[in-house]
Amino acid sequence: MTSVRPTVSELSAAFASGTSTPLEATERALEAIDRFDPVVHAMVLVDREGALAAAREATRRWAAGTPLSPVDGIPTTIKDILLTRGWPTLRGSLLIDEGQPQDWTEDAPAVARLRAAGCVLLGKNSTPEFAWKGVTDSLRHGPTGNPWDPGLTAGGSSGGAAAAVALGMGAWSIGTDGGGSVRIPASFTGIVALKPTYGRIPLYPASPYGTLSHAGPMTTSVADAALLLDLVGRPDPRDWSALPEPSGSFREGLEDGVVGLRVAVSPRLGLDVDNDPAVESAVLATAQRLAEDGARVEQVDPGISDPVDAFHVLWFSGAAKVIEGYGPGALERVDPGLREAVLRHGAGASASAYLDATAVRMDLGRRMGLFHETYDVLLTPTMPIPPFELGHQAPGGDDALWTSWTPYTYPFNMTQQPALSVPCGTTSEGRPIGLQVVGARHADALVLRVGRAVERRAPVGLPPMLYAPRAGGRGEEA
């Protein structure tokens, strides 16, 4: 392969033509881990020998003309929230004992699909404790830096997955998203991530955050996100809320463009938010390009209010319940920010407060359902800001709760709508900017189609680290 960071589609074509092999791709991904992970700390487990053995088997299958699937042999990483057979799932927490191999016997549904397709599982990605916040650091594993500048955060909670994908430490990954956790780091690291319609990708065990939580593809292209959704977006009997088998491929119509589509662009979602000027400019410029391509674009707000208080009740009551399961004293051993948020928003929440929050959620879903009677998709910034300094919980160095700076992501967990983050530009300092494409429930294919139209017109480039000189080397490409 000549590409610095080949897509899954490019790798699959190379395997089929014989110009590359799964073993070569896996060796390249492991080299990227060796080179970049000491800088960004995106991996919490690497199974080098297991990955190489699986890659050799995949290489033999392609040579014999019997691949298990078109993605047989694709190097893949998994967020350390999802169960993965044979590996501990520590969820970034000191509460979990990794020395219990009898507990690591089952794959989560998405992981099972990846394994059955022949994907080479390289290892597991970092996460904040129990995936609770919008940056990736934990008492167990420390912070994860950004591929565009390791002194910046990669975002969270799927920051390890995003950093790994951005730097070629695996061609794609599966993350989770209960309030923005694939989209926040996608925006911060310049990759693509989809939070699909709730239930499209089954989850097991059920998330402590209930039906707020989705699993989602994290990739370097929209086509790869559609391909990964095809692979893992199928029902599993362990998830009672999983959607039925899709009627077709999410890649169908991906290149159909936007002619005639009704596109709403809302730079601030009608909320009291101060966007970074570069972010707002990039979002409006992208909307203008879609109009030039034939979409009927209108700047309009959807007429919703910020559901943050209701979200806090739903989110942190779930967090309180999961910590409670680790016994007396567990709350004193978790991330101090998580402990404070649980005590403030979750531990004392009554059933009545939970039902009130659910009512807010249902009304928000109703409003967005009606909005999509008029508009096919809604465009917003994924994040109002570019990535900020590593080691902080919020921009500016304060310790504000993550929902204070992620206003455009968690509302669409409340409504269960598909929401895609796709790169749409960079700031003058070279920090990535993400555009969020939101569709009606079950309109995942349309969201991907619009994202592909954005991607064609707004290439963002690759993290500078991919071109940096090797230690003691001569500046060759990664």
Report field, pTM of the whole predicted structure over 0.95 = yes
pLDDT at residue 460, rounded to an integer: 82
pLDDT digits (tens, 9 = 90+) for 320-369: 999 999 999 999 999 999 999 999 998 888 999 999 999 999 999 999 99
pLDDT digits (tens, 9 = 90+) for 142-195: 999 999 999 999 999 999 999 999 999 999 999 999 999 999 999 999 999 999
Q: CB–CB of 205/199 below 8 Å?
A: no
Which entry of 20, 93, 138, 157 is annotated as an active-site residue? 157
Radius of gyration of the chain (CA): 21
pLDDT at residue 309, rounded to an integer: 97
Q: Please name the amino acid found at residue 445.
A: A
Q: Does domain 8-467 have CATH number 3.90.1300.10?
A: yes
Residue 15 has pLDDT above 70, yes or no: yes
Q: Where are the beta strands (DSSP E) in 363-469?
A: 377-381, 419-426, 432-439
User: Closest Cα to residue 385, out of 431, 419, 438, 437?
Assistant: 431
Give one DSSP letter per residue of 304-350, joined into a string: ----HHHHHHHHHHHHHHHHHTT-TTGGGGS-HHHHHHIIIIITT--
What's the rounded Cα separation, in Å, for the pair 236 and 238? 5
For 290, residues 6+ apart whose C-beta sits below 8 A from its C-beta are 258, 263, 297, 379, 450, 453, 454, 457
For 26, residues 6+ apart whose C-beta sits below 8 A from its C-beta are 51, 52, 54, 55, 73, 75, 120, 122
Between 458 and 356, name the one with better pLDDT. 356
Q: What percent of the chain has pLDDT over 90?
A: 92
Summarize the confidence of residues 212-227 as an average pLDDT.
Answer: 98
pLDDT at residue 106, rounded to an integer: 95
For 366, residues 6+ apart whose C-beta sits below 8 A from its C-beta are none
pLDDT digits (tens, 9 = 90+) for 242-264: 999 999 999 999 999 999 999 99
Which entry of 181, 207, 213, 221 is annotated as an active-site residue? 181
Q: Examine the residue annotation and report whether 157 is marked as an active-site residue of this protein.
A: yes
- The 3-state DSSP class for residue 131 equals helix
Q: Examine the residue annotation and report whether 133 is marked as an active-site residue of this protein.
A: no
pLDDT at residue 102, rounded to an integer: 64
pLDDT at residue 478, rounded to an integer: 35
Between 123 and 3, name the one with better pLDDT. 123
pLDDT at residue 472, rounded to an integer: 39
Summarize the confidence of residues 264-287 as an average pLDDT.
Answer: 97
Between 362 and 101, name the one with better pLDDT. 362
